[in-house]
Structure 1
Amino acid sequence: MTNTVENFAFIGLGAMGYAMARNVRRKMAPTGTLYIFDVYRPACEQLQNEFEDSGPVVIVDSPREAAALSQMVISIVPGAEEVQQVYLNDISGINAAPKNQDRLMMECSTIDSQTSREIGEALRATGAGIYIDTPVSGGVPGANSGTLSFLIGHNKPSDTDPVSHRLETVAAMMGNPKKFFYCGKLGAGLAAKISNNYLSCSILLAVAEAMAIGIRSGIDEKLLHEVIQNSTGQNFMADVVQPVPGIVPDAPSSNNYKLGFKTQMMIKDLGLGIRAGYATGIKPTIAEAAYGVYEKASIDPRCIDLDGSSVYLHITAPPRETQK
């Protein structure tokens, strides 16, 4: 980033976006302004109040207004429809802001690669700026600690590509540079993220089922966790996100399934993996099976609006017809 004061726009203050925006405000130039927008205005007001004695945080009424006042835009919203509204809405979208070919737009949502490419190409064609898919991994804990992974649809930083250095500098405000992966072209960051999420969502369900089977077979849950951790079944979801309460102290399950990634969002991410599978000629058998379970869990009162690891509650509950 240059020594000139740079204003930032941040769009989308959900569980992850709020923490990411907080880190940006803390690390950007104190004389720069952070313009924020979210459809849920109380989130904007909360962030503004948090920094009332630090650097300026200004709430705006649309992505268009945020982009008009900024050289740097970061967005993270629920899905492809919301991304399209943020960037391409003829009235309130960033494409309606004054043109600025040097404006850099980092889109951190998890959507399909094709939609991302179409949005990026449309913005470039109208001179709105440089749009790059930069999906993140690490969940709410990573967003809070500023240690997110970034999967970036652009080339590695080089002396001949000033955009790449701006990308790296801004991403470092929210993530760990050791976990930045430059995937080469627009949409490629999302392709990597979709493949990763195919695994993470599916493996989480497999861990929940394996733990449930072992526990009901009479194995102490902590012993079973230790066995898996030191055997060929070892994986991040079992080690860190462990869906059985009381085993991993910092896991969502041990904290009343405190939200990290909503159960309802699991079906979105698995759906992206399924569609990518068919688009590339690979039958996504595991994701399809997991999708069916998460689809039911997403409407289960035990799991709604809780962390996705609460799927353990869904699969271990007695059948509804036997419940009293």
Structure 2
Amino acid sequence: MAEFENNVAFIGLGAMGYAMAKNIRQKMSPTGNLYIFDVFRTACERFYHEMQVTGPVIIVGSPREAAEFADTVISIVPGADDVRQVYLDAVTGIIAARRNPERVLLECSTIDSKSTQAVGEALLVGKLGTYVDTPVSGGVPGAESGTLSFLIGHGKPSDTNSVSHRLHKVASMMGDPKKFFYCGGLGAGLAAKISNNYLSCSILLAVAEAMAIGTRLGVDEKLLHEVIHHSTGQNFMADNVQPVPGVVTHAPSSNNYRLGFKTQMMIKDLGLGVQAGYATGITPTIAEAALRVYEKAAVDPRCIDRDGSSVYLHITNPTRKSPE
């Protein structure tokens, strides 16, 4: 094994990445170095001051520097362009780092399958390591508790494939192994994630609309939730991301719409679902309708930079406009 086997690079310290990196630093080898990079250096500095007591934390100036002396790389950034910048930039990207065929790279962002396949193939040709799409589900709460689901574009762990065991080991520092799904080849993890998010984003809007209709017709909101929970409309989003404040105590809405998954990000994820639908010959009617609503909510000052369930505030008073 390479001399840098205990070192890890983490790229992207946003709301989820920050919490995921904390779990990595706490659970990785105490003698290993954790190299961190984010386009906002203040996030790195905050992480360093909080986590240096648990083991070495080294702030670097580029993804290339982060990967240079690490056998494991983890990244989570907003979109496909950011992923390409992280991995393929000829000067600052990981593709410019020291060659290491044993390096394992877990890319946790939600992007389109085609983009991730192109990145993975370029890194493989350049002998930079094995790149695997490993999108996550569970939001900020799952990242903080280390119970994320991982949808992995790779085969199941086997005795003949050391990469699969390393994937499982690293993902287990951030997620719950009972919720790891090995989906097959490169890009398959993202295909599963896009399909899941098509549902979760659309269902959340449906829950918000149903709750608004029922309460305006005179049903108490807590009673209405109980009815749905014990009837055919029961679903995860209603029980855990309930958009009506005060109905489910742990839901973001009951905590001032504390950020779990940003409203603006709903547009990206539903957009990916729409693109994938047309690419596969399926007309994504539900996602297209939901996307139009989230596009309006994403510029509503009541919803900006808050959990996506704040769409409830938008649909119950849709005439409110954002400032010019």
Q: 1:13–1:219: structure 2 CA closer, same or farther, 3 Å change rule?
A: same
Shift of 1:217: 0.3
Shift of 1:2: 10
Shift of 1:53: 2.0
Find the residue that maps to 2:19 and give its secondary structure: helix
Please name the residue that 1:32 is paired with: 32
- Which TM-score applies when normalising by structure 2? 0.97
Shift of 1:4: 7.9
- The whole-number CA distance in structure 1 between the counterparts of 2:279 and 2:160 is 35
Identity across matched positions, percent:
73
Please name the residue that 2:161 is paired with: 161
Find the residue that maps to 2:10 and give its secondary structure: strand
- The whole-number CA distance in structure 2 between the counterparts of 1:119 and 1:48 is 29
After superposition, residues 82-231 of structure 1 pair within 5 angstroms as 82-231=82-231
- The whole-number CA distance in structure 2 between the counterparts of 1:4 and 1:164 is 19
Root-mean-square deviation (CA, aligned residues, Å) is 1.3
Please name the residue that 2:14 is paired with: 14
Find the residue that maps to 2:9 and give its secondary structure: strand
Shift of 1:320: 3.7
Q: Is the 8 A contact 2:105 2:132 kept in 1?
A: yes
- The whole-number CA distance in structure 2 between the counterparts of 1:5 and 1:297 is 45
* 1:118-157 deviation per Cα after TM superposition (whole angstroms, max 9, x unaligned): 0000110111111000000000000000000000000000
- The whole-number CA distance in structure 1 between the counterparts of 2:318 and 2:52 is 50
Q: Is the 8 A contact 2:4 2:69 kept in 1?
A: no
**Farther-moved stretch of structure 1 (175-184 vs 40-49):** 40-49
Q: 1:311–1:45: structure 2 CA closer, same or farther, 3 Å change rule?
A: same
Runs of 4+ residues deviating >6 angstroms:
1-4
Q: Is the 8 A contact 1:6 1:29 kept in 2?
A: yes
Please name the residue that 1:290 is paired with: 290
Q: 1:320–1:144: structure 2 CA closer, same or farther, 3 Å change rule?
A: closer
**Farther-moved stretch of structure 1 (136-145 vs 42-51):** 42-51
- Which TM-score applies when normalising by structure 1? 0.97
Please name the residue that 1:251 is paired with: 251
Q: Is the 8 A contact 2:34 2:56 kept in 1?
A: yes
* 1:224-243 deviation per Cα after TM superposition (whole angstroms, max 9, x unaligned): 00000000000000000000
Shift of 1:54: 1.9
- The whole-number CA distance in structure 1 between the counterparts of 2:100 and 2:123 is 10
* 1:147-170 deviation per Cα after TM superposition (whole angstroms, max 9, x unaligned): 000000000000000100000000
Structure 2 counterpart of 1:215, which letter?
Answer: T
Q: Is the 8 A contact 1:107 1:133 kept in 2?
A: yes
The reply on whether 1:268 has 2:268 as its aligned counterpart is: yes
Q: What are structure 1's unaligned runs of at least 5 residues? A: none
Q: What are structure 2's unaligned runs of at least 5 residues? A: none
- The whole-number CA distance in structure 1 between the counterparts of 2:158 and 2:3 is 19
Structure 1 counterpart of 2:165, which letter?
Answer: H
